[in-house]
């Protein structure tokens, strides 16, 4: 993200300063994760093991004062291992629901593409509707509700690619990537930060996070010109000769909501075109379906080519 569009909100700067001690050299990933969380979205991280994905999820939960649940996906994971199940209580002669780890504010779904499609689908309703229906009864999730899923590159053995319907439910897809040489040397000097996360004092409360959601939606203005710009980008993706299915309406909503939050973080009460251009490479590529003969093309480059052709509003 451009330095000129850096975060100005004092509270967010305080969170960034706190978490950067545990996520050394991961400022971009941290910013995008916070934007997604504060936009009531979900985050997909596609990367190799050992690059800080768990630390990212757990540290955000700590600093925002939210509950945390973790789901480690394997090929034998069952849907009820995620959602929970009803257990018969012989004392009361009734079934009692025991909630699974998905009933937390922040849920880390580690290596989601190692779970079978049936198990992956257990998350669809939770991510889309913020509720889960079990045996005909609907249970609401605590608010805010934020899923951080990690995914191994699809060429890894034993992985099940996520279906398009599930990919579209993630507001952003990012990579953390390897640290630079100097950053990695500093990490080696400091040692693993995982055991130090318990020391993080909450800088927000649950109510403050919910209030930020409300203020971002109510106080940050998206003009007709900006809405038209977003729709022009969406329309261009749908008629692109290399793309089989372009950006969905959910994708347009995602880029709009994340742009509102980014503007709020930058100390503005209005969205500008640069907000859209900065966030589009993270909110749009994973939603595109490429025609078979062009599947080798990089989706981020396709999105960038669309941004370069759509006229920026004055």
Domain ranges of the chain: 42-170, 209-309
CA pair distance 205, 63, nearest whole angstrom: 9
Pairing of strands 94-99, 84-89: antiparallel
Q: Domain 209-309 in CATH: superfamily?
A: Magnesium chelatase subunit I, C-Terminal domain (1.10.8.80)
Q: How many CA atoms lie within 13 A of 180 on its CB side?
A: 6
CA pair distance 53, 234, nearest whole angstrom: 30
Of 32-36, 115-119, 120-124, 177-181, the one with minimum mean pLDDT is 177-181
**Per-residue pLDDT tens for 242-286?**
999 999 999 999 999 999 999 999 999 999 999 999 999 999 999
Span 54-77, mean pLDDT? 89
157 pLDDT exceeds 70? Answer: no
Reading the block at residue 177, the tokens are 């990537």
Give me the pLDDT at residue 258, please. Answer: 96
Q: Which CATH architecture has domain 42-170?
A: 3-Layer(aba) Sandwich (3.40)
Burial code (b: 16+ CB inside 10 Å, e: under 16) for 93-124 equals: eeeeeebbbbbbbbbbbbbbbbbbeebbebbe
């Amino acid at each position: 993200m451009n330095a000129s569009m850096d975060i100005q909100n004092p509270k967010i700067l305080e969170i960034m300063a706190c978490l950067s001690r545990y996520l050394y050299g991961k400022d971009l990933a941290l910013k995008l994760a916070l934007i997604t969380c504060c936009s009531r979205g979900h985050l997909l991280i596609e990367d190799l093991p050992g690059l800080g994905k768990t630390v990212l999820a757990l540290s955000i939960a700590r600093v925002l004062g939210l509950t945390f649940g973790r789901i480690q996906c394997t090929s034998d994971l069952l849907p009820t291992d995620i959602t929970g199940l009803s257990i018969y209580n012989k004392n009361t002669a009734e079934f009692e629901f025991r909630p699974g780890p998905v009933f937390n504010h922040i849920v880390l779904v580690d290596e989601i593409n190692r779970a079978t499609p049936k198990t992956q689908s257990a998350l669809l309703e939770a991510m889309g509707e913020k509720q889960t229906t079990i045996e005909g009864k609907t249970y609401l999730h605590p608010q805010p509700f934020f899923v951080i899923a990690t995914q191994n590159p699809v060429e890894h053995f034993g992985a099940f690619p996520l279906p398009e319907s599930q990919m579209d439910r993630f507001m952003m897809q990012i990579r953390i990537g390897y640290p630079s040489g100097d950053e990695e040397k500093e990490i080696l000097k400091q040692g693993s930060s995982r055991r130090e996360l318990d020391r993080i004092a909450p800088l927000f409360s649950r109510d403050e996070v919910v209030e930020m959601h409300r203020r971002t939606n109510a106080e940050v203005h998206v003009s007709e010109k900006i809405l038209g710009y977003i729709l022009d980008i969406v329309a261009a993706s749908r008629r692109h000769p290399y793309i089989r299915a372009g950006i969905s309406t959910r994708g347009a909503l995602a880029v709009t909501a994340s742009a509102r939050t980014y503007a709020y973080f930058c100390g503005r009460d209005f969205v500008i075109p640069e907000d859209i251009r900065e966030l589009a490479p993270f909110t749009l590529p994973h939603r595109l379906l490429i025609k078979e003969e062009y599947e080798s093309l990089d989706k981020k480059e396709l999105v960038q080519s669309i941004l370069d052709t759509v006229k920026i509003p004055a």
